[in-house]
Amino acid sequence: MAGKAQLPTSNSALIAMIADEDTVTGFLLAGVGNVDLRRKTNYLIVDSKTTVKAIEDAFKEFTTKEDVAIVMISQYVANMIRFLVDGYNKPIPAILEIPSKDHPYDPAHDSVLSRVKYLFSAESVASGRR
């Protein structure tokens, strides 16, 4: 296909995280943590003191880094920067909204599911018939 862009494939891509302390701690135990030459980590711990600006910056940084393949973000954190998360539509890095300790996962807020849910709405069916 001529118009199809080439995906950046990689052999050792990273998983970035924006989540609460316990979730980040757990995934660091699973070996996800990475610190690069500039002492930059591939995670951001969000607590009550973390500003929305800091979350936005981390999200932008992780989604533009070439060595990141998946960005895990707690859904309640994603809700704070919903406009950014919903506006993101690249295949890599893939954004995954995960549950967090104090906030249960709500499929209605998931950016991927809300992107595809209009296929089930009565309006889209009606417009298809017209």
Partner 1 sequence: MEELKVNRSISENGREREDGEEEEECEKEVLQFLDSMDSYIMLIDSLSSTLRQGWLDLASARHSMGPSRINSGLFDLKLHAASSTLNVTELDDEVVDQPYFTLSKWPSLNDKKCDFEEIEADGGNFLKTSNSPQLRHRGSSDASAFFEGGKEEPPASDGSPVTVDNQVQKERSKSLSVFGTLVSPKLRNAQLSFEKALEMIVQLANERSTMLSAHAQICRRHQEFC
x-or-dash string of contact with partner 1, 26-65, rule CB under 8 A: xxxxxxxxxxxx-x-xx--x--------------------
Two tokens, residue 35: 């610190």
Least Å distance, CB 55 to partner 1, is 16
Counting contacts by CB under 8 A, is residue 1 touching partner 1? yes
Strand 94-98 vs strand 68-74: parallel, antiparallel, or unpaired? parallel
Q: Which is nearer to partner 1, 72 or 85 (CB)?
A: 72
Got the DSSP string for 54-72?
HHHHHHHHHHH-TTEEEEE
Contacts of 75 (CB under 8 A, 6+ apart): 97, 98, 99, 100, 103, 105, 106, 109, 110
- CA–CA separation, 78 and 55 (whole Å): 9
Stretch that binds partner 1, among 5-13, 52-60, 77-85 (CB under 8 A): 5-13
Counting contacts by CB under 8 A, is residue 4 touching partner 1? yes
CA terminus-to-terminus distance, the chain: 31
Least Å distance, CB 83 to partner 1, is 20
Contact residues for partner 1, defined by CB under 8 A = 1, 4-15, 21-37, 39, 41-42, 45, 69-70, 72, 91-92, 94, 96, 98-99, 101, 104-105, 107, 112-113, 115-116, 119, 128
